[in-house]
A and B are shown apart, each in its own frame.
Chain A
Amino acid sequence: MVHFDLGNISSGPKDYYDILIVGGGPAGLTAAIYAGRAGLTAAVFEKALEGGAVTQTHIVENWPGFTRIEGSELGEKFAEHARSFGAELVTAEVTKITYDNEYKYVHLDNGKVVKGKVLVYATGAVPRQLNVPGEKEFRGKGVTYCAACDGYLFSGKDVVVVGGGDSACDEAHFLAKMVKSITIVQNLPYLTAAKVLQDRLFSNKNVKVVYNSLVKEIRGKDKVEEVVVVNNETGEETVIKAEGVFIYVGLVPKSDLLKDIVEVDKFGYIKTNENMETNIPGIYAIGDVRVKNLRQIVTAAADGAIAVEHAAKKYF
């Protein structure tokens, strides 16, 4: 089925908004909805597509109201919802954040600077790298972190999926329909994904798992040809023939624009109080980028609501 999405249409930012939201995932877009409800103007700055990492998720089954919805569709709905409350969705990358006593400023990669009273930072997290030989070298030559983007380019080929969590299993299930075979490489003796995701994954006949194993190296000539894995109990090395390597081994926070401005923990996650405010008044952090226990769409959305509700009372 062919879709035609309106995703990234934007008419460009004005000079000032009450609330500047950096990142257009579930957290940022919920913040925009609550800003609209509070009668505040808001702009959401997103370099990819509104919806954030959700748009790359194959199937979402833990957002209340939808027993099952495609990630890209849910992302679209979030964006549509934010737009209906008057939010300006701006397609641009924020390259710098500054502030003075009165205002916060986002500096965009097209040279524009937009001013706001409150800044809400909702950039989320990006895929963690394996840091093994061959990973960098073969990026874009077989190594990838986005099944939604690149899955079809591996139709009929053998691939390896690294990781055993929710993302790894969901994306492997998505890939199973198009690729020839999948070998999942997991460092533990079991998968950590939710049971429902594991059951679904194993309904595919072309999926197998190599447990207790770490990727040692990704090898090939011009592009990926094989993956070397080591059993972490026996030390035995195995070579798996594959043309694609999809890496899902967790996330690292995308706090680079704020980490020298506000307090972060040793992993780079941003520290906030229970109102989502950082140690700098008027700068909030929400969603996957902040220190928290559970990183899910529903907790990201909750963060967005809490932050803007608080900011609306305190600063306007």
Chain B
Amino acid sequence: MALLSAKDREYLTDLFSKEMENKVKLIYFGDSKENCEYCELEEQILDELQELSDKIIVERYNVNDHKDLAEKYEVEMVPALILTLEDGEDKGVRFYGLPSGHEFGTLVQDITTFGKGAKPDLSPNTIEKLKEIDTPVRISVFVTPTCPYCPRAVLTAHNFALINPLIKAEMIEANEFFELSNEFGVSSVPHIVINRNPNTFFIGAYPEAQYLEEVLKAIK
């Protein structure tokens, strides 16, 4: 059975044909069903997305068979999804765990953003400050698929990553990676951790300026 309804497929086909100028590459790393509960579903949703537009290219890799590539993209756990431009240039945009529920909208929004050349939707002031960052920054956004505040927290992080190659931004599905969530004390989402330091985090829906402030504060 298809995961997307006929109506949603129609909507997305139309959206992609209108919005996408360039090709987008979705690089997926998975594993066998025994090792990865949600990989099969993620493969299916990627199949369905790929069918909707010739601008969407999906590359699939088993994380054990392609260790070099997984290392290149710093894949830490599966399912992992990395969005890149057609040439495979890593912009630091990642999804760990199935982008289902409200996070599917996040993925679609990211795809159209990349389709328009990966230009971030941010204020000039934010862009300027992000460009000045000269140390690596990793923004981990813990989410649940049923959290209505989470998509924006992920999209803001992903937009930040587009500005500066030193910034990596990842969605992490908190239920799927329960041990990791526990490690970081996640009990309310969105829970945003900077540089994987359990002590530099913030929780909730922050507008762009405050979001930036929290990130800058954490790396100071």
Contacts from A to B (Cβ < 8 Å): 2-12, 47-49, 51, 55-56, 72, 75, 91, 93, 95, 109-112, 139-144, 146, 148-154, 222-223, 244
Contacts and interface: CB of A to CB of B under 8 A. Distances in A.
A188 B100 CA distance: 40
Contact of A149 (B98, B105, B106, B189): B189
B161 to A, nearest CB: 16
Contacts of B151: 7-8, 48-49, 91
A289 to B, nearest CB: 18
B12 interface: yes
A2 B41 CA distance: 9
B146 interface: yes
Contacts of A4: 3-4, 8, 45, 100-101, 104
B27 interface: no
B200 interface: no
A95 B148 CA distance: 19
A60 B173 CA distance: 26
Interface string B175-203: 10000010001111101000000000001
B112 to A, nearest CB: 7
Specify the main secondary structure of chain A where it touches its partner.
loop
A141 B205 CA distance: 16
A144 B204 CA distance: 10
CB-CB nearest 10 A-B residue pairs: A111-B123, A140-B203, A49-B148, A149-B147, A109-B207, A7-B105, A4-B104, A140-B188, A109-B208, A93-B207
Contacts, number: 147
B149 A150 contact: no
Contacts of B19: 11
A34 B102 CA distance: 26
Nearest to B98: A2
B144 interface: yes
A48 B152 contact: yes
B105 A150 contact: no
B181 A8 contact: no
Given A47-B149, A141-B187, A153-B188, 18 more contacts: A2-B100, A4-B8, A4-B100, A6-B11, A6-B12, A6-B108, A8-B102, A9-B108, A9-B112, A10-B109, A48-B151, A91-B109, A93-B205, A110-B123, A111-B208, A112-B123, A149-B189, A152-B175
